[in-house]
Amino acid sequence: MQRILSEKAYNEAVEYIPGGVNSPVRALRSVGVAPLFVQSAYEDMFTDIDGHQYIDFCLSWGVFILGHGNKKVNASAINAIANGSSFGIPTLVETELAKMVVQAVPSIEKVRFVSSGTEAVMSALRLARGFTGRRIVIKFDGCYHGHSDSMLVSAGSGVAQLGQSSSAGVPAEFAKLTISLPFNDLNAVKSVFARQGNAIAAIILEPVPANMGVIIPQTGFLEGLREITTHYGALLIFDEVISGFRLGLGGAQEIWQVIPDLTTIGKIVGGGFPAAAFGGKKEIMDQLAPLGSVYQAGTLSGNPVAMHAGIETIKQLLEPGFYTQLEQKTTAFVAELCKLTKNKGIVIQQMGSMFTLFFSQHELKNYDDVKKIDTARFSIFFQKLVAQGVYFSPSPFEANFISITHTDAHLNHTLKAVESALRN
């Protein structure tokens, strides 16, 4: 499959944009494919500038649960633009979407909108430190929380060592305020709190990690984190930028019935436009300026176009049976994938409408397991799928997503493509 125009576009882009892309994974270097340049997308497919069509399981990294180009969402955004795209002044739609978020997400009593998941996490961490008066934050290996300085940290050789930066440009002093531990290891968390509990402001995690592939929290893990943070007076922060509105209206916290103190959401909540949010208990959120002393601001926060798109998206998610239909579609598809991949050194892990094919012999429960997967096999697999018009998320460490618009015909085509890719 030739992509002459995409290659030409990429060669031009690298002259003006670092690496030719505005987010690193789009360069597709880890999967050995030249970057695709997209012309258009509709429902469960997109078309590149060379005219090739692909069944899309990335969906802008989980954003388009309704599929690309939802007519009602688009109409809502277009109507909003007609009245002005940004004001820097409050609008009624901000409150309308805020009400919907508060009603949907169990932990959120008040919410503030921002423009990206990174911004939501950065703000939530500042708020947690301001509220507790403490400095140290615990995260988990493989859980990605955006590119703010304190979150670009990986674990040291020991389970409780202070982190070292995983990016140039992050001062060591920042990294030393973050401890990264193995996911699903409650004993490691207990050990750190036993030594430093009075200095720890918060634990932050993806309750269902999707940025190292889909990893399922083991029984008692989330509940244990809630107990530990409550005992020591630290905050529990769920990063549901991906799982929020994806696993259900209330996200992972509704499924596990574990209520964090703060929650970050993004992607779906903006209906395809740049929007994210963080929210939680009133007494914590009211520490934000102008009421409190924790400062956070943003020119495009609560942008009316994104707010309208988010409102229309959530309205459709509220329709009876939406999530049941979506999960049934995904579960049936994954069941067929499991049949095709049986005894082929592949493990498939699924939660709701998210799934990952790990090229591994064993179930994966943390990042140490994920680091052992066969990335070279995944790259070959990905290339073969792309050649057959199927676009999985272009990294062995990411989740794939199914939308309500994925058709039986397209899912069946994908199964045949997978079978062919594994056979040849």
pLDDT tens for each residue of the chain, 424 residues long: 789 999 999 999 999 999 999 998 898 988 988 899 999 999 999 999 999 999 999 999 999 999 999 999 999 999 999 999 999 999 999 999 999 999 999 999 999 999 999 999 999 999 999 999 999 999 999 999 998 877 877 632 233 334 456 677 877 777 789 999 999 999 999 999 999 999 999 999 999 999 999 999 999 999 999 999 999 999 999 999 999 999 999 999 999 999 999 999 999 999 999 999 999 999 999 999 999 999 999 999 999 999 999 999 999 999 999 999 999 999 999 999 999 999 999 999 999 999 999 999 999 999 999 999 999 999 999 999 999 999 999 999 999 999 999 999 999 999 999 999 999 6
Name the helix (H) or strand (E) containing 203. strand 200-205
Q: What is the pLDDT of residues 92-135, one digit of tens each?
A: 999 999 999 999 999 999 999 999 999 999 999 999 999 999 99
CA 244, CA 266: separation in Å to the nearest integer?
Answer: 7
Q: CA geometry: angle at 141 spanning 262 and 297, to 5°? A: 35
* Domains in the chain with CATH codes: 4-57+320-423 (3.90.1150.10), 71-317 (3.40.640.10)
User: How far is residue 222 CA from its own chain's centroid?
Assistant: 18
d(C-alpha 70, C-alpha 129), whole Å: 40
Rounded CA-CA distance 315/310 in Å is 9
Catalytic residue (choose from 44, 239, 261, 369) = 239
185 given a catalytic annotation: no
Query: Any catalytic annotation for residue 239?
Result: yes
Element (H, E) at 77: helix 71-82
Confirm whether 8 is a catalytic residue. no
d(CA 357, CA 359): 6
Q: pLDDT (tens digit, 9 = 90+) per residue, 349-394? A: 999 999 999 999 999 999 999 999 999 999 999 999 999 999 999 9
Q: What is the pLDDT of residue 308?
A: 98
- CB distance 128 to 285 below 8 Å: no
Which of 139, 267, 329, 365 is catalytic? The answer is 267
What count of other Cβ atoms lies within 10 Å of the Cβ of residue 68?
22
Q: Which one is catalytic: 10, 54, 144, 323?
A: 144
